[in-house]
Structure 1
Amino acid sequence: MGENQFSRELRLLTPTHFEYVFQQATPAVSPQLTLLARHNQLKHPRLGITLSKKRVKTACQRNRIKRILRESFRHRQHQLPSIDIVVVGKSGLDQLTNQQIFDLLERQWKKLSHRCK
């Protein structure tokens, strides 16, 4: 169970980390989510999440989506290359069910892995 943690070193924590990804990002785009990635110097991927109030109105919906994003990343982290990933939520994301978000993320992880190798 310890190999699928979402510990502190697997997160983008500071605005500097996010800016690094935004400067030269490799995108994986869908109507509800955009994943931006950039290679890092570490031996593991890291995840950052941005969900604005303008796109996902209620806090409970933002928290639900963040939990799903983290869970999906946790299970997929060992198949991803050493990249920093920023997930940007778009309008309509809160209308999807949990299973639809998981399925969407699986497609996006595959697309991102392929583009970053």
Structure 2
Amino acid sequence: MNKLAFPRELRLLTPEHFNSVFQQPHRAGSPHLTILARNNKLGQARLGQAVPKKQIKLAVDRNRFKRQVRESFRLRQHELPSKDFVVIAKKSANDLSNDELRTLLDKLWLRLSRPPRKR
């Protein structure tokens, strides 16, 4: 199997998967998007996305955003810790170019790969 594939096992599919991430997540955010992360015991990172119509109106723009997030995750999946990630779009995410979005995602993946700081 291709090491950089994005098979079904690497996706958050059910409401239970998403709800588990929403409870006590580690967060990394920017004015354009937020990534929530929660440890899993699966030995691999998984991705879920929340891109509401209220935030990004046009389907073509929502799909572009999701495609860029998926591609960024696919290329970085082996560098990421064993966590479930949920990417949540904000209104201003639509103003980013593809390159800006990829750069921002790379920075946030890196931040979430480090152990959380003690408060």
Report the TM range for the smaller structure's normalisation. Answer: over 0.9
Alignment-derived partner of residue 54 in structure 2: 54
Give the partner amino acid of 1:83: K
Alignment-derived partner of residue 95 in structure 1: 95
Distance 2:76 2:115 in 1: 16
- Cα shift at 1:115: 3.5
SS in 1 for 2:38: strand
Alignment of 1:62-77 (within 5 A): 62-77=62-77
Structure 1 runs of 4+ off > 4 angstroms? none
- Cα shift at 1:24: 1.2
Structure 2: gaps (5+ residues): none
TM-score (norm 1): 0.96
Distance 2:77 2:24 in 1: 21
TM-score (norm 2): 0.95
Preserved CA contact (<8 Å) 1:26 1:115: no
- From the two aligned structures, give the one with the greater helix fraction: 1
Q: 1:65 to 1:47 in 2, by over 3 A?
A: same
Give the partner amino acid of 2:59: A
Structure 1: gaps (5+ residues): none
Distance 2:6 2:63 in 1: 16
Alignment-derived partner of residue 105 in structure 1: 105
Give the partner amino acid of 1:24: Q
